[in-house]
C-alpha cells in the first residue's frame, strides 16, 4: 500500500505545475513601473562586466608593452624607465577597473534587490486586497493553508524571478557576448577556435539540463511528499500507536525517504558528471589554445600577452554558460508560483451591489423575504420557499434545531451569499440594488464566534473604522455593560488582546462583540447565536444590553436561549429549511408544536 | 563539536567514503596547484626564447592531463562527499522519525507539529550542509591556503609572496565580520515573515467578521504595515548581503594590483621572470575561495552544531510511558471459537490521575470492573474525565496512583504490542490517513488485507453504502487527513477500522457524535451482536443506555453506577435528568430529521 500512496501523492503534486507564456507576461507587467531602475541596473551590469573583462586585456597590454621591454636585456635605460612608468600606469588603470567594478556591481545588486522588494510588496499587497474582496463562497471551498502559502511563500518565489533570474541571465549573456567581442578584436583565428567549443558546451549543457531538471523536480517532489507524510503521521501519532503500527508506518516513511535518497544520489551523480564534463572541455580548450597559440607565438603572429589573455578569457567563457543553466530551476519554480498566484487573481471578487445607497439617517428596517430558496451546494436546499416580514422597529427571533436554516437567513441578509430564487427586500428595495459596502455598514451583526484582532481593547471595539470615534467605542462599551470588566483590566481600554492567548472569558468576548457592533450605530441589528456561549453571570448583562440595543431599531436574532428571545415581538420556528410556526411566544406555547418542545428543553431538564 | 557525537556511528560506517572523498578532493587541489607551474614554465620558455614546438606540445599535453585529473577527482569528491552527506540526511531523518514513533502523548502535547517537522526538514538539512559543503570548505580552507602559500614561496620567494598576500587575509576578516550581522538580520527577516503569516492567517480565518463589518480597508492598511516592515527588514539584510561578492572581488583586485606594482619592479631588477609573474597572478586568484571558505566554515558549523543540538534534544527524550523490560503475557484461555470468547477482565482499582504534579486531579479514586465480554459505558459532561479513563486504559498516560489490571496483570507490565492487539480503539476525533478507504479500514493489517473482511467492517459501521457510492469504492483515495469525507463518515470509518482489528475489547470514545440517530441505532445494534467486551464513552443517554454497566462521571468522581433501569430510579440523579432532556431533544431531532447533515455548512 505504501508505494501506491507515494504514487498517488506524486500525481497530485505534479498536476500543480502548468506555467505558460501568459504567466510570464503578466509577471513582467509588475516590472514595468520600474523600467527606469531596470535600465539603470542594465547599465550597471554592463559597466561591471566591461570592467572585469577589461582586466585580462590590461594584463595582456602590460605583458606586451611593458614587461616584454623590462625583461629584454637589450633595451636602453630610457626605454626601461618609460616601460616602468607605463607599467605603473597600467597597474593604476587596473585598480581603477577593480574599484569601478566594485561600485557598479554593488550598486547594481542593491538597486535590483530594492526594486525586487518593491515589486514583491506590491504583488503581495494587491493579492491580499484581492483575497479580502473575494466572496464567501470562495472561502468555503478554498483551503486556508493554501491561501496562506499564496500570499507568503509563492510571492517570495516570484521575487527570485525579478532578482536572480533577471540579473544572472543578463549578466551571463552580456559577459558571453563581451568575451567573444574582445577575443575577436584581439585575434580572429584564436577567437574562432574558442568559439568552436561553444556548440559542444551548449549541446552538453542542454542534454545534462534535461536529465538533471527531471531528477531535480522528482527529488523536490519526493521531499514534499516526505513533508506531507511527516505532518500527517505526527498529527495521527496517537492512532498509529494505538493500533501499534509504528513498524509499518516507519517502513512506509522509510520508503519515501529512501526514494528521496535514491533521487538525491542520482542528482549528485549527474551534477558530479556535468561539471567535470564541462571542465574537461575547458582543459581541452586551454590545451588547444596553448598548442595553436604557442605556434602562432613562435611564428610571431601573436604576442605572448595575447596568448595569456586568451587563456584567461577562455576560463571566463565557461562561467556564464554554467550559470545560465543554473537559473533554469529558479525560473521553473517561479513560474509555478506565479501561475498559482494569477489563478487567485483571476477569481472574481464579490459583486459590489447596485447603486442605491443607504440613506444617511439609516434604514427604517423593514425586511421582507419573498419565497426565498437557497442552497450552498447545488440542489441541496437549505432554505425552501421562505417568506416573512419584519416591520420597522420589530424584534424577530428565529429558533429551530441545528441546521434548520436560521443562520443562513442571517447570512443572506448581509449578502454573504446570493439567493437562488425569490427576493429579499429591505425598505422596499431589493438588497441586490444596494451598494454592498453601505448595506453591510448599515447592518450590525453580532456573530457567534467573536474574533479578536491583535491590538488593544479599544481598537477591537472601534476596529479602526473611520466612522467610529474612540468616544463612540467607549459609549458602546458602556451601553452593552462591557465597561465594568474592561475597567478592571490592568491597562483598561488599552489592554492588548489577541485571538490566541487571550485571557478574556467567552462572555467578556461576547460583550466586546456587542460593543463592536453597536459602536457603528447600525440601523438594523442581527444577532447570530450571539448568546450561545455565555455564563449566567454575563447573561443578565447581555440581556440588558440587548434590550437597550433593540429599543430603537429592527432586530433579527437567532438564538438557542429562550431567555434571549423572551421579549421578541415575533418568533419564527424554522424546520428543515422551511418556516414551521410563527407567532408571539404565548401564541406558540399554546400550540403543541416545535416551539413547545424547544421551550421545555430550555426550562426543564437541567 | 560534541553535538556531532550522534552521527559518529554513521561516520564510522561511512569511513571509506569520506576517506575517498577527501582523497579525491586533495587530488584535485594538487592538480590545480600544478597548473600555474606549467604556465610559469611555459612563459619562461617564451621569455628566454627557449620555446620549441615539442615543448608546446608537452605543455598542452600536461595541461590537458591535469585538467582531466581535476575532472575525475572532482567527480570523485562530489559523489563521495556530497553523496554521503545525502546519505546522512536520510539516516538522520529516519532516526528522528523512528524516535517520534516511540514518543508518547505527553511529548506530542508539548511540541507543536510545525516544530517537530522543522527538525526533520531544516535541522537535518543544516547538518547535511555542514557535513557536505562544510567538509569541502575545511579541506579547501586548510590545504589550499597552506599549499598555495607554499607554492608561491617556492616560486617567487618569501618576500614577494608576503607582499602579494598582504591584502588577502581581509577577505576572511570581511566574511567573518559579515556573517554575524547577516545571520542576525536574516533572523529578523524570518521573524517578520512569521508576523506577516500570522496577519494573513488571522484575517483569513476572521474573513466573515471583516465582511460583516465592512472593514476590508482597515485590514488592508494593517497588512500594509507588516508588509512594509517585512520589506524594510529584507532590505536591512540585503544591504549587507549584496556587499559580499563585490567586496571580496575588491579585496582580491587590490591584492592583484599591489602585486603588479611590486612585481614590475622585481622584474626590472631581474629577480622575477614573466613566468613567475603569471604564476603568482594565478595563485592569487586561486587563494580567494579558500579564504572565503575559512570565513564561511565557521558559520556553517555553528549552524550545524545548533541544529545538531536541537536534534539531540529530541533524540534524548525518554517517553514517560515506557514498555516494561520483561513484559508479562496476559493470561487468557485459548479458545478457537470466537463466540465463546470470555473477553478481557478489565479492572480499575482506585485510580487517581493528574496530568502534572501541580495540576488538579482529573480522576479521583475511580474503580470499576468489566468482565465476560460485557459492555460498560461512561457518561458525563465534557471535561469530567471520561476520555482520561480511556487514555489510561490505552496507556497513553500512566496512573498517578492506583492500578489498572487486565486479566489480573498490571497494565504497566504488558507489552505494547499485546495491549494494542487486545484493545481496538475508536478515537473521539477520528484520524483518517491519506490512503485508500480499504487501507484505512485495514489499518491494523500488514498491507495484505482481506477485502471481504474490509467490506464486513464497513457494513458493521454503516459506512458501506457511502463507500459503494464513491467513484472507486474501496479503492477511493482519501484526501489528506480525510478532508474529502464528512465528520460522520470519518467516525464510521474509524469504527470500521477498529472492528477490522478483531480484538477482545472495543473502546469507543464518544465516537458516534457526528453520526445521525438512525445510523447510531444500527451501529449500536451491531455492537450488541458482537461477542466481545465493549467500553464506550458518551454524552448521550441513547448511546449508553443498553450497556450492562453504566458509570456517571462528574468532576473525576463516579457519582452514579448501575444500568439504565436502575439509574432511572433516581429521578433527581444526573442520569435521569439527562435522559429526560435528551428525550425532548430526540423528539425535536426526529422532527427536523436529516437536515442536521447539512448543518456543517454554517459559517
Amino acid B479: pLDDT:
66
Amino acid B337: pLDDT:
52
Residue B16, burial from CB neighbour count under 10 angstroms (0-12, 13-18, 19+) = exposed
In this predicted structure, the answer to whether residue B249 has a pLDDT above a threshold of 50 is yes
B451 touching A, CB under 8 A?
no
A110 touching B, CB under 8 A?
yes
CB–CB of A8 and B218 under 8 A?
no
CB–CB of B212 and A376 under 8 A?
no
For B348, other C-beta atoms within 10 Å of its C-beta total: 23
3-state class (DSSP) for residue A85: helix
For B194, other C-beta atoms within 10 Å of its C-beta total: 10
Q: How far apart are CA B173 and CA B292, in angstroms?
A: 9
Structural domains of chain B sorted by starting position, each given as residue range(s) with its CATH number in brackets? 2-316 (1.20.1560.10), 341-592 (3.40.50.300)
| A:287-316 residues touching chain B, CB 8 A cutoff | 287-288, 290-291, 294-295, 297-298, 304, 308, 311
**For the residues A552-569, what does the mean pLDDT come to?**
76
Highest mean pLDDT pick, A12-26, A440-454, B241-255: B241-255
Mutate to test the interface with A, among B242, B428, B486 (most CBs of A within 10 A): B242
Amino acid B73: pLDDT:
92
Mutate to test the interface with B, among A52, A140, A281, A401 (most CBs of B within 10 A): A401
Q: Which residues of A touch B554 (CB under 8 A)?
A: none
B19 touching A, CB under 8 A?
no
Of B71, B87, B200, which has the smallest distance from its Cβ to A279's Cβ? B71
Amino acid B72: pLDDT:
92
Q: How far apart are CA B179 and CA B241, in angstroms?
A: 9
Amino acid A530: pLDDT:
67
Amino acid B549: pLDDT:
85
In this predicted structure, the answer to whether residue A13 has a pLDDT above a threshold of 60 is no
B593 touching A, CB under 8 A?
yes
Query: Band of the pLDDT at A5, cuts 50, 70, 90?
Result: very low
3-state class (DSSP) for residue A474: helix
Q: Which residues contact A190 (CB under 8 A, 6 or more apart)?
A: A183, A289, A292, A293, A296, A302, A306, A310
**For the residues A335-340, what does the mean pLDDT come to?**
80
Between A44 and B216, the higher pLDDT residue = A44
In chain B, what percentage of residues exceed pLDDT 70?
92
Amino acid B61: pLDDT:
92
B338 touching A, CB under 8 A?
no
Residue A290, burial from CB neighbour count under 10 angstroms (0-12, 13-18, 19+) = buried
**CATH superfamily entry for domain A2-345:** ABC transporter type 1, transmembrane domain (1.20.1560.10)
Highest mean pLDDT pick, A9-18, B283-292, B475-484, B485-494: B283-292
For residue range A129-153, list pLDDT tens digits in order: 888 888 888 887 777 777 777 887 7
Report domain extents, chain A.
2-345, 367-603
In this predicted structure, the answer to whether residue A18 has a pLDDT above a threshold of 60 is no
Lowest mean pLDDT among A168-177, A240-249, B75-84: A240-249
Q: Which residues of B touch A151 (CB under 8 A)?
A: 200
Q: Where are the beta strands (DSSP E) in B361-465?
A: 363-370, 375-379, 401-406, 409-410, 423-426
B212 touching A, CB under 8 A?
yes
- In A346-420, which ranges are continuous DSSP H helix? 406-413
**For the residues B293-306, what does the mean pLDDT come to?**
82
For residue range A416-449, list pLDDT tens digits in order: 888 888 888 888 888 888 888 888 888 888 877 7
The pairs formed by A483-492 with CB atoms below 8 angstroms and a separation of 24 or more are: A485/A511, A486/A457, A489/A457, A491/A456, A492/A457
Between A323 and A281, the higher pLDDT residue = A281
Chain B residue with CA closest to A578: the answer is B592
In chain A, what percentage of residues exceed pLDDT 70?
90
Q: Which residues of B touch A402 (CB under 8 A)?
A: 596, 599
Amino acid A2: pLDDT:
39
**For the residues A411-419, what does the mean pLDDT come to?**
85
Amino acid B602: pLDDT:
30
CB–CB of A71 and B274 under 8 A?
yes
For residue range B166-211, list pLDDT tens digits in order: 888 888 888 888 888 888 888 888 888 878 887 887 788 778 778 7
Q: Which residues of B touch A304 (CB under 8 A)?
A: 43, 46-47, 274
A78 touching B, CB under 8 A?
no
- How close does chain B come to A144, measured CA to CA in Å? 7
Q: Bridge-partner residues for A579, per DSSP?
A: A574
CB contacts < 8 A, A to B, total 413
User: Mean pLDDT across chain A, nearest whole number?
Assistant: 81
For residue range A105-129, list pLDDT tens digits in order: 999 989 988 998 898 889 989 898 8
Q: How far apart are CA B216 and CA B205, in angstroms?
A: 14
**For the residues B524-552, what does the mean pLDDT come to?**
80
Q: Which residues of A touch B221 (CB under 8 A)?
A: 464
Amino acid B586: pLDDT:
64
In this predicted structure, the answer to whether residue B509 has a pLDDT above a threshold of 60 is yes
Q: How far apart are CA B342 and CA B335, in angstroms?
A: 9
List, as one string, the DSSP characters of A228-280: HHHHHHHHTHHHHHHTT-HHHHHHHHHHHHHHHHHHHHHHHHHHHHHHHHHHH
Q: How far apart are CA B463 and CA B438, in angstroms?
A: 12
A551 touching B, CB under 8 A?
no
B45 touching A, CB under 8 A?
no
In this predicted structure, the answer to whether residue B433 has a pLDDT above a threshold of 70 is yes
Here the ipTM equals: 0.81
B277 touching A, CB under 8 A?
yes
Q: Which residues contact A343 (CB under 8 A, 6 or more apart)?
A: none
B189 touching A, CB under 8 A?
no
**A351 DSSP 8-state letter:** P
Question: One fold for both A2-345 and A367-603?
Answer: no
Amino acid A25: pLDDT:
82
The Cα angle at residue B517 between residues B516 and B519, in degrees rounded to 5 = 70
Amino acid A226: pLDDT:
84
In this predicted structure, the answer to whether residue A59 has a pLDDT above a threshold of 60 is yes
For residue range B498-508, list pLDDT tens digits in order: 888 878 888 88
B71 touching A, CB under 8 A?
yes
Q: Which residues contact B354 (CB under 8 A, 6 or more apart)?
A: B360, B361, B362, B400
- How close does chain B come to A439, measured CA to CA in Å? 9
User: Mean pLDDT across chain B, nearest whole number?
Assistant: 81
Q: How far apart are CA A567 and CA A553, in angstroms?
A: 14
A57 touching B, CB under 8 A?
no
| A:434-473 residues touching chain B, CB 8 A cutoff | 437, 440-441, 445, 447, 451, 453-454, 463-465
Amino acid A378: pLDDT:
72
CB–CB of B238 and A113 under 8 A?
yes
**For the residues A181-197, what does the mean pLDDT come to?**
87
Q: How far is CA A130 from CA A22, A146, B193, in A?
A: 20, 15, 20
| B:466-495 residues touching chain A, CB 8 A cutoff | 477, 480-481, 483
For residue range B22-61, list pLDDT tens digits in order: 999 999 989 988 888 888 888 888 888 888 888 889 999 9
For residue range B313-370, list pLDDT tens digits in order: 888 888 888 777 777 787 766 555 555 556 678 888 888 888 878 877 888 888 888 8
Of A90, A106, A272, which has the smallest distance from its Cβ to B243's Cβ? A106
For residue range A579-596, list pLDDT tens digits in order: 878 887 777 777 777 777
Q: What residue has cell string 463466540? A: B339
Q: How far apart are CA B587 and CA B582, in angstroms?
A: 8
Q: How far apart are CA B170 and CA B571, in angstroms?
A: 89
CB–CB of A140 and B601 under 8 A?
yes
Q: How far apart are CA B174 and CA B176, in angstroms?
A: 5
Q: Encode B444-456: b = buried (16+ Cβ within 10 Å), e = exposed.
A: bbeeebeeeebbe
Amino acid A535: pLDDT:
61
Q: What residue has cell string 607554492? A: B151
- How close does chain B come to A350, measured CA to CA in Å? 10
**CATH superfamily entry for domain A367-603:** P-loop containing nucleotide triphosphate hydrolases (3.40.50.300)
Lowest mean pLDDT among A363-372, B391-400, B479-488: B479-488
Amino acid at each position: 500500500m505504501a508505494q501506491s500512496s507515494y504514487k498517488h501523492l506524486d500525481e497530485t503534486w505534479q498536476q500543480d505545475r502548468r506555467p505558460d507564456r501568459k504567466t510570464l507576461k503578466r509577471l513582467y507587467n509588475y516590472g514595468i513601473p520600474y523600467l527606469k531602475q531596470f535600465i539603470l541596473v542594465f547599465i550597471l551590469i554592463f559597466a561591471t562586466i566591461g570592467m572585469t573583462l577589461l582586466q585580462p586585456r590590461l594584463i595582456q597590454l602590460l605583458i606586451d608593452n611593458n614587461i616584454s621591454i623590462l625583461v629584454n636585456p637589450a633595451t636602453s635605460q630610457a626605454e626601461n624607465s618609460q616601460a616602468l612608468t607605463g607599467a605603473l600606469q597600467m597597474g593604476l588603470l587596473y585598480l581603477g577597473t577593480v574599484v569601478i567594478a566594485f561600485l557598479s556591481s554593488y550598486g547594481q545588486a542593491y538597486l535590483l534587490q530594492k526594486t525586487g522588494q518593491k515589486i514583491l510588496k506590491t504583488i503581495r499587497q494587491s493579492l491580499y486586497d484581492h483575497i479580502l474582496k473575494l466572496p464567501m463562497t470562495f472561502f468555503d471551498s478554498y483551503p486556508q493553508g493554501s491561501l496562506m502559502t499564496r500570499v507568503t511563500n509563492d510571492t517570495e518565489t516570484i521575487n527570485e524571478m525579478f532578482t536572480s533570474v533577471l540579473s544572472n541571465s543578463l549578466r551571463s549573456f552580456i559577459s558571453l557576448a563581451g568575451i567573444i567581442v574582445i577575443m575577436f578584436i584581439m585575434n580572429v583565428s584564436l577567437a574562432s577556435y574558442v568559439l568552436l567549443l561553444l556548440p559542444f558546451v551548449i549541446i552538453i549543457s542542454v542534454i545534462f539540463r534535461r536529465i538533471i531538471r527531471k531528477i531535480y523536480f522528482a527529488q523536490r517532489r519526493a521531499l514534499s511528499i516526505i513533508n506531507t507524510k511527516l505532518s500527517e503521521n505526527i498529527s495521527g501519532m496517537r492512532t498509529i500507536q494505538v493500533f501499534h503500527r509504528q513498524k509499518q508506518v516507519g517502513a512506509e516513511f522509510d520508503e519515501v525517504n529512501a526514494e528521496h535518497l535514491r533521487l538525491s544520489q542520482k542528482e549528485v551523480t549527474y551534477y558530479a558528471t556535468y561539471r567535470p564534463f564541462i571542465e574537461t572541455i575547458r582543459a581541452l580548450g586551454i590545451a588547444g589554445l596553448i598548442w595553436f597559440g604557442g605556434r602562432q607565438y613562435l611564428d610571431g603572429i601573436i604576442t605572448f600577452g595575447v596568448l595569456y589573455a586568451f587563456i584567461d578569457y577562455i576560463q571566463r567563457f565557461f562561467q556564464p554558460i554554467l550559470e545560465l543553466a543554473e537559473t533554469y530551476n529558479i525560473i521553473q519554480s517561479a513560474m509555478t508560483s506565479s501561475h498559482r498566484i494569477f489563478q487567485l487573481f483571476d477569481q472574481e471578487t464579490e459583486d459590489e451591489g447596485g447603486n442605491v445607497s443607504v440613506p444617511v439617517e439609516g434604514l427604517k428596517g423593514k425586511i421582507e423575504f419573498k419565497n426565498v430558496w437557497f442552497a450552498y451546494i447545488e440542489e441541496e436546499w437549505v432554505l425552501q420557499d421562505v417568506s416573512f416580514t419584519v416591520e420597522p422597529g420589530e424584534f424577530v427571533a428565529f429558533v429551530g434545531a441545528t441546521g434548520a436554516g436560521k443562520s443562513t437567513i442571517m447570512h443572506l441578509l448581509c449578502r454573504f451569499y446570493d439567493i437562488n430564487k425569490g427576493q429579499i427586500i429591505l425598505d422596499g428595495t431589493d438588497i441586490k440594488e444596494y451598494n454592498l459596502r453601505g448595506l453591510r455598514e448599515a447592518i450590525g451583526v453580532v456573530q457567534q464566534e467573536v474574533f479578536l484582532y491583535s491590538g488593544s481593547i479599544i481598537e477591537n471595539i472601534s476596529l479602526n473604522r473611520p466612522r467610529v470615534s474612540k468616544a463612540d467605542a467607549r459609549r458602546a462599551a458602556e451601553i452593552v455593560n462591557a465597561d465594568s470588566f474592561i475597567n478592571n483590566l490592568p491597562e483598561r481600554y488599552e489592554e492588548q488582546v489577541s485571538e490566541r492567548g487571550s485571557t478574556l472569558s467567552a462572555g467578556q468576548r461576547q460583550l466586546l462583540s456587542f460593543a463592536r457592533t453597536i459602536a457603528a450605530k447600525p440601523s438594523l441589528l442581527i444577532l447570530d447565536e450571539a448568546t450561545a456561549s455565555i455564563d449566567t453571570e454575563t447573561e443578565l448583562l447581555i440581556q440588558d444590553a440587548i434590550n437597550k440595543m433593540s429599543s430603537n431599531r429592527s432586530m433579527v436574532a437567532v438564538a438557542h436561549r429562550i431567555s434571549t428571545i423572551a421579549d421578541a415581538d415575533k418568533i419564527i420556528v424554522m424546520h428543515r429549511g422551511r418556516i414551521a410556526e410563527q407567532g408571539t411566544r404565548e401564541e406558540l406555547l399554546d400550540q403543541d408544536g416545535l416551539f413547545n418542545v424547544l421551550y421545555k428543553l430550555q426550562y426543564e431538564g437541567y | 563539536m560534541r553535538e556531532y557525537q550522534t552521527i559518529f556511528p554513521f561516520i564510522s560506517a561511512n569511513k571509506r567514503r569520506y576517506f575517498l572523498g577527501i582523497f579525491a578532493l586533495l587530488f584535485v587541489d594538487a592538480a590545480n596547484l600544478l597548473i600555474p607551474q606549467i604556465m610559469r614554465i611555459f612563459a619562461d620558455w617564451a621569455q628566454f626564447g627557449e620555446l620549441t614546438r615539442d615543448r608546446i606540445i608537452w605543455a598542452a599535453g600536461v595541461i590537458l592531463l591535469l585538467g582531466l585529473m581535476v575532472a575525475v577527482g572532482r567527480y570523485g569528491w562530489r559523489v563521495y562527499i556530497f553523496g554521503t552527506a545525502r546519505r546522512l540526511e536520510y539516516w538522520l531523518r529516519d532516526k528522528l522519525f523512528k524516535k517520534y514513533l516511540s514518543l508518547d502523548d505527553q511529548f506530542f502535547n508539548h511540541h507543536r507539529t510545525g516544530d517537530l517537522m522543522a527538525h526533520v526538514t531544516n535541522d537535518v538539512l543544516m547538518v547535511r550542509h555542514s557535513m557536505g559543503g562544510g567538509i569541502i570548505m575545511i579541506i579547501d580552507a586548510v590545504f589550499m591556503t597552506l599549499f598555495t602559500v607554499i607554492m608561491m614561496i617556492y616560486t617567487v620567494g618569501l618576500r614577494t609572496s608576503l607582499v602579494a598576500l598582504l591584502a588577502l587575509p581581509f577577505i576572511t576578516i570581511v566574511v567573518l565580520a559579515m556573517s554575524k550581522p547577516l545571520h542576525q538580520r536574516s533572523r529578523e527577516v524570518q521573524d517578520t515573515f512569521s508576523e506577516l503569516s500570522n496577519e494573513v492567517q488571522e484575517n483569513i480565518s476572521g474573513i466573515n467578521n471583516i465582511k460583516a463589518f465592512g472593514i476590508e480597508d482597515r485590514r488592508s492598511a494593517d497588512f500594509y504595515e507588516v508588509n512594509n516592515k517585512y520589506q524594510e527588514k529584507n532590505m536591512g539584510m540585503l544591504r549587507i548581503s549584496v556587499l559580499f561578492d563585490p567586496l571580496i572581488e575588491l579585496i582580491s583586485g587590490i591584492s592583484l594590483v599591489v602585486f603588479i606594482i611590486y612585481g614590475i619592479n622585481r622584474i626590472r631588477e631581474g629577480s622575477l621572470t614573466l613566468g613567475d609573474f603569471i604564476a603568482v597572478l594565478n595563485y592569487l586568484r586561486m587563494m580567494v575561495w579558500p579564504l572565503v571558505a575559512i570565513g564561511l566554515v565557521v558559520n556553517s558549523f555553528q549552524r550545524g552544531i545548533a541544529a545538531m543540538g536541537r536534534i539531540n534534544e529530541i533524540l534524548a527524550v525518554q517517553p514517560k510511558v515506557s514498555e516494561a523490560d520483561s513484559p508479562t503475557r496476559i493470561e487468557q484461555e485459548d479458545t478457537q471459537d470466537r463466540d465463546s470468547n470470555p473477553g478481557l477482565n478489565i479492572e480499575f482499582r482506585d485510580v487517581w490521575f493528574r496530568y502534572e504534579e501541580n495540576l488538579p486531579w482529573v480522576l479521583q479514586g475511580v474503580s470499576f470492573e468489566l468482565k465476560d465480554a460485557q459492555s460498560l459505558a461512561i457518561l458525563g459532561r465534557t471535561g469530567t474525565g471520561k476520555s482520561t479513563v480511556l487514555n489510561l486504559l490505552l496507556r497513553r498516560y500512566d496512573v498517578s496512583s492506583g492500578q489498572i489490571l487486565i486479566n489480573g496483570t498490571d497494565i504497566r507490565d504488558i507489552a505494547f504490542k499485546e495491549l494494542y492487539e487486545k484493545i481496538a480503539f475508536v478515537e473521539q476525533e477520528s484520524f483518517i490517513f491519506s490512503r485508500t478507504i480499504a487501507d484505512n479500514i485495514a489499518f491494523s493489517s500488514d498491507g495484505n488485507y482481506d477485502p471481504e473482511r474490509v467490506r464486513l467492517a464497513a457494513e458493521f459501521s454503516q459506512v458501506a453504502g457511502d463507500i459503494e457510492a464513491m467513484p472507486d469504492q474501496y479503492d477511493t483515495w482519501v484526501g489528506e487527513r480525510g478532508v474529502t469525507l464528512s465528520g460522520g463518515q470519518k467516525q464510521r470509518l474509524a469504527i470500521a477500522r477498529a472492528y477490522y482489528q478483531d480484538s477482545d475489547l472495543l473502546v469507543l470514545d464518544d465516537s458516534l457524535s457526528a453520526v445521525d440517530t438512525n445510523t447510531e441505532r444500527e451501529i449500536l445494534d451491531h455492537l450488541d451482536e458482537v461477542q466481545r467486551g465493549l467500553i464506550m464513552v458518551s454524552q448521550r443517554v441513547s448511546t449508553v443506555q443498553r450497556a450492562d454497566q453504566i458509570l456517571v462521571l462528574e468532576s473525576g468522581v463516579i457519582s452514579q453506577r448501575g444500568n439504565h433501569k436502575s439509574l432511572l430510579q433516581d429521578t433527581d440523579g444526573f442520569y435521569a435528568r439527562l435522559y429526560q432532556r435528551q428525550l425532548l431533544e430526540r423528539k425535536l431531532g426526529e422532527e427536523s430529521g436529516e437536515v442536521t447533515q447539512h448543518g456543517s455548512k454554517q459559517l
